[in-house]
Amino acid sequence: MTLSLMRPELTAVPESPLVQIATLAESMPASIKLCYGESDLPTPAFITEAAHQAALEGHTFYTHTAGYRELRSAIAAKVRELHGAEYDESEIIVTVGASMAIYAAIRACIGPGDNAVIVSPAYAIYANAVTMCGGEPRFAPLRRSNAAYLLDLDRIDGAIDRNTRMLIVNSPSNPTGFMLSIDEQRDLVALAERANLRILADEVYERITYDVEAAPSFASVVENKGRLIVANSFSKTYCMTGWRLGWAQSGAEMIRAITTGVEFMTSNAAAPVQRAGIVALRDGEAWIAQLRAHLTAQRTQVLDALSGIDGVHVTAPSGSFFAFFTVEGVTDSAAFALRILRESGIALAPGSAFGPGGEPALRLCFASTERTIEESLDRLRRSLLPQR
């Protein structure tokens, strides 16, 4: 007799087209993996040392589920400094990466019969978390104009019905590099007020920007904090993907609900990692400036090379460390990414991994050393040239 006691909400989650690429790339020792959403720079030493020191000093016990008060207050100070928005400690929860913040926020708002509208192409966690909570993910793709992506309010409005509980938007965006303006954020907040929805704003790339110190945050726009949940992270800003540290900000009532979920899923983020987070926020601005200078150079290098190849269309990302480009004649991004990997050993993420609006683009993560990027671009150029 077969044992099929698994919930369909989980078994319904599709495997990402990225898995096949990543699995093959991992089995090819000489491959260069530009398919992941992380930098290959190590965590800066001042952060690693702070975690080490914290462990030696005895920060090795459970903390409050919502995290150390000092860390929540350091997060509040950073939000105030960057966006002029006031949050107190009861309006912030520290989580095991932004991933936990996103899942717990969706868990707090979505159940069977509900739907959430996701501005796409987007990171797969949103749709999958909505599905895992028994809800229906709906997509409102950005509009493409040449190689640029534009917000389409009508599409978002058209996807909303009386069962819509949440609008999920990521800015700066993975994978497109699209960044919402303050005015667009105001429009989305007005729409959310009208339709009585919550906005889940994923702002993990807020400091990975090129023309501004920080991307605009919904936090500076909403009047009713409970209308908004911001998910944010240390992963991208401080090259701390493996440490698993993030947070959510919202009204106190929503944070209490999220905290209940988190308490029985992960409990608190690791104590020494939280202490390191305090130091990252306090002393990290010089590091961020350095990271941004590095990424600016990589962005130029990648854009120059890609736009120099006939039939390749790309625009500069306003934020994040991705180039999301199309190649004339390519319609199936997963098949094409596989072909490129086999031919050139360069692993790219297929646009189809990011839902409606993602096809037929390819995502290249340029948060890597100059030499790696140069080598990758050389190999890619050779692989892409026959496309002409």
Ligand X SMILES: Cc1ncc(COP(=O)(O)O)c(C=O)c1O
Q: By the criterion CB under 6 A, which residues form the site for ligand X?
A: 37, 97-99, 123, 170, 174, 202, 204, 233, 235, 241, 246
**Rg of the chain over CA atoms, in angstroms?**
21
3-state DSSP assignment of residue 132: helix
Question: Which residue, 272 or 277, has its beta carbon nearer to ligand X?
Answer: 277
Please confirm whether the linkage preceding 175 is cis (ω < 30° from 0): yes
Q: What value, to the nearest 5°, has the Cα angle with vertex 106 and ends 349 and 318?
A: 45
Question: Which residue, 205 or 344, has its beta carbon nearer to ligand X?
Answer: 205
Question: What minimum distance in Å lies between the beta carbon of 194 and ligand X?
Answer: 26
The β-bridge partners of 367 are none
Distance CA 85, CA 228 (A): 13
Distance CA 352, CA 356 (A): 7
Distance CA 162, CA 212 (A): 37
Question: Which residue, 99 or 344, has its beta carbon nearer to ligand X?
Answer: 99
Question: Which residue, 241 or 301, has its beta carbon nearer to ligand X?
Answer: 241
Question: What minimum distance in Å lies between the beta carbon of 176 and ligand X?
Answer: 11
Beta strand segments in the chain, E = 32-33, 92-95, 115-120, 136-141, 143-145, 148-150, 164-170, 198-202, 228-233, 246-249, 312-313, 322-327, 346-347, 349-350, 362-365
Question: Which residue, 330 or 354, has its beta carbon nearer to ligand X?
Answer: 354
Question: What minimum distance in Å lies between the beta carbon of 1 and ligand X?
Answer: 39
Please confirm whether the linkage preceding 386 is cis (ω < 30° from 0): no
Query: How far is CA 67 from each of CA 47, 188, 228, 236, 284, rounded to the nearest angstrom?
Result: 18, 30, 20, 20, 20
Question: What minimum distance in Å lies between the beta carbon of 174 and ligand X?
Answer: 4
Question: Which residue, 170 or 259, has its beta carbon nearer to ligand X?
Answer: 170
Distance between first and last Cα of the chain: 55
Question: What minimum distance in Å lies between the beta carbon of 30 and ligand X?
Answer: 25
Question: Which residue, 333 or 383, has its beta carbon nearer to ligand X?
Answer: 333
Question: Which residue, 73 or 241, has its beta carbon nearer to ligand X?
Answer: 241
Question: What minimum distance in Å lies between the beta carbon of 355 and ligand X?
Answer: 13
Question: What minimum distance in Å lies between the beta carbon of 382 and ligand X?
Answer: 29
Question: Which residue, 204 or 327, has its beta carbon nearer to ligand X?
Answer: 204
- Taking CB atoms, the residue at the shortest distance from ligand X is 97
Joined tokens for residue 351:
């646009």
Question: What minimum distance in Å lies between the beta carbon of 248 and ligand X?
Answer: 11
Distance CA 278, CA 71 (A): 5
Write phi, then psi, for 208 (nearest 5 degrees).
-95, 75
Joined tokens for residue 68:
């150390």
Question: What minimum distance in Å lies between the beta carbon of 328 and ligand X?
Answer: 27
**Cβ neighbours for 175, distance < 8 A, ≥ 6 positions apart:** 121, 123, 320, 322, 324, 349, 351, 354, 358, 361, 363
Q: What value, to the nearest 5°, has the Cα angle with vertex 67 and ends 64 and 72?
A: 130
Question: What minimum distance in Å lies between the beta carbon of 91 and ligand X?
Answer: 19
Question: Which residue, 206 or 359, has its beta carbon nearer to ligand X?
Answer: 206
